[in-house]
Amino acid sequence: MAKLRTTFVCSNCGYSSPKWSGQCPGCREWNTMNEEVEEKTKVSAVSSVKSKTVFSSVSSVTEISTGDELRYNTGIGELDRVLGGGLVKGSVVLLSGDPGIGKSTLLMQACGTFSRDKTVLYVSGEESAKQLKLRAERLNVNSDKLFVMTETDVESICEYIKVNKPEVVMIDSIQTMNNAEIQSSPGSVTQVRECTNLLLRTGKSLDIPVIIVGHVNKDGAIAGPKVMEHIVDAVLYFEGERNYAYRILRAVKNRYGSTNEIGVFEMGDGGLSEVENPSQALLSERNVNVSGNCISCVMEGSRPILAEVQSLVCTSGYGNSRRMSTGFDFNRLSLILAVLEKRFGYRFSGMDTYLNIVGGLKLDEPAADLPVALALVSGFTDKPVPDDVVAIGEIGLSGEVRSVSRISARISEAARLGFTKCIVPRSCLKQIKTKADIEVIGVRNLHETIANVF
């Protein structure tokens, strides 16, 4: 008889311990340790399969044929871009994101384009067939090659896949999947891991790509996507502020492509539409001639994107001044404020400082330092940065402006959107190859920048 043992597993990072604790020792999250029952004598499904196939799986790399069509086009350009040029056959992709951000919508739209010439199986453990049909109708998806299955038992799903061999499989939410052989409840770390493993083996053995939805959940009772990140081939995060229409799809892991490509979508009544010109979309509601704003140009993968940095600086009402940053690293903001205060005498310490990147975008590139500094100085002095200026550059601790990568692409994008002045690090000037119609000003430090702009 199987011997039962209780362990406590962190739903955020998968750390397991024989003892319960309020804070996970692995990732320092609170209230994420959940009781799970482990069957000691049961050989894990993974290892039993491995031992059977271990010899047949050895072959010389020169003998392995890749087949003709390695990737399936999803028919959604932005999704293809993030996947590295299409969905690789036999790969397992985790699509993750906050509740209600549009994961099911994106999958259903991909089903729509896939099912034009491929059989697609969409498994939902969350919605009834009727609800799925309603969504499909709203998104204009209608094909006799698209099969929906409302099932949560992962073994019967895999059985169905083996028998019917659909060409693409979508699993709507791994947290609802259940393997009857495992005692813990659906959504627990063990269940999520084992179900992912089973789907992965089924997909790989038949060369069928599987896209799995995983919820991001702050509530500790449901295992987060972190616990399966290392199992799957690619991890895509769908993010965005829920109040904005823009959604950004980002690859945080990709065994078959670059991880710094993003896809930009806009959520509307008819579902998600691709935003081919993100810069223009992000700048569309721009307020001109207002102090505290500056336009930045950051690279998102191979694409330059212009985004507006906004700051608000006002006298602090309390002893402690407040600092808030949305879309920009808080520590980086503190550093830039410290440089501005120490080297240039802007007394931010008595001020409340708020920084925001418009459109829900996150700027996590050094090139965003200079526009942030300019927005802050502009907010402090109440003098607007001229509307036709784009600033690019990293700031060092002594106030020097350091070079950044891909300067030509950034300048071209700024010129394309009608900006006439571009402030760049002086050391980048010789790398500029673009002949775009824009005045490029090279600066060595913040002093020169401020003198040039205001």
Ligand X SMILES: Nc1ncnc2c1ncn2[C@@H]1O[C@H](COP(=O)(O)OP(=O)(O)OP(=O)(O)O)[C@@H](O)[C@H]1O
Binding region for Zn ion (CB under 5 A) = 10, 12-13, 15, 24, 26-27
103 forms part of the interface with ligand X (CB under 6 A): yes
Tell me the residue length of the chain.
454
176 forms part of the interface with Mg ion (CB under 5 A): no
Distance CA 304, CA 390 (A): 12
Measured from the CB atom, the residue of 26 and 386 that comes closer to Zn ion is 26
Q: 3-state DSSP call for residue 130? A: helix
Measured from the CB atom, the residue of 100 and 317 that comes closer to ligand X is 100
Question: Minimum CB separation from Mg ion for residue 172, in Å?
Answer: 6
109 forms part of the interface with ligand X (CB under 6 A): no
Q: 307-337 as b/e, with b when 16 or more CB fall inside 10 Å?
A: bbbbbbbeebeeeebebebebbeeebbeebb
Question: Minimum CB separation from Mg ion for residue 451, in Å?
Answer: 53
Q: Which does 267 bind (CB under 5 to 8 A by kind): ligand X, Mg ion, Zn ion, none?
A: ligand X
Question: Minimum CB separation from ligand X for residue 70, in Å?
Answer: 29
317 forms part of the interface with ligand X (CB under 6 A): no
- Among residues 147, 143, 150, which one has the least CA distance to residue 127? 150
Answer whether 315's CB lies under 8 Å from 350's CB: yes
Letters for 93-112 (x = contact with Mg ion by CB under 5 A, - = none) are -----------x--------
Distance CA 298, CA 405 (A): 10
- Residue 24 CB partners (closer than 8 Å, separation 6+): 10, 12, 13, 15, 30, 32, 33
- Which uninterrupted H or E stretch holds 7? strand 4-10
188 forms part of the interface with Mg ion (CB under 5 A): no
Question: Minimum CB separation from ligand X for residue 242, in Å?
Answer: 7
Letters for 221-260 (x = contact with Mg ion by CB under 5 A, - = none) are ----------------------------------------
215 forms part of the interface with ligand X (CB under 6 A): yes
Letters for 113-132 (x = contact with ligand X by CB under 6 A, - = none) are -------------x------
Distance CA 254, CA 198 (A): 20
Measured from the CB atom, the residue of 102 and 399 that comes closer to Mg ion is 102
Residue whose pair of structure tokens reads 């979309």 in the numeric block: 281
Q: Which does 12 bind (CB under 5 to 8 A by kind): Zn ion, ligand X, Mg ion, none?
A: Zn ion
77 forms part of the interface with ligand X (CB under 6 A): no
* Identity of the amino acid at 207: D
124 forms part of the interface with Mg ion (CB under 5 A): no
DSSP string spanning 197-252? HHHHHHHHHHT--EEEEEE--SSTTS--THHHHTTSSEEEEEE--TTSSEEEEEEE
Measured from the CB atom, the residue of 11 and 113 that comes closer to Zn ion is 11
Question: Minimum CB separation from ligand X for residue 82, in Å?
Answer: 16
Helices (H), 16-141: 45-53, 77-83, 103-114, 129-138
Residue whose pair of structure tokens reads 């050989």 in the numeric block: 43
| Binding footprint of Mg ion, residue count (CB under 5 A) | 1
Measured from the CB atom, the residue of 103 and 410 that comes closer to ligand X is 103
Site for ligand X in 82-101 (CB under 6 A): 97, 99-101
Of these, 12, 34, 104, 378, which contacts ligand X (CB under 6 A)?
Answer: 104
What 8-state DSSP symbol labels residue 29? -
Question: Minimum CB separation from Zn ion for residue 21, in Å?
Answer: 10
β-pair partners for 153: 178
Q: Which does 15 bind (CB under 5 to 8 A by kind): ligand X, Mg ion, Zn ion, none?
A: Zn ion
Answer whether 93's CB lies under 8 Å from 232's CB: yes
Dig out the tokens for 300 from the structure. Answer: 């998102």
Measured from the CB atom, the residue of 42 and 138 that comes closer to ligand X is 138
Residue ranges that bind Mg ion, judged by CB under 5 A: 104
Residue ranges that bind ligand X, judged by CB under 6 A: 97, 99-105, 126, 138, 215, 267, 269
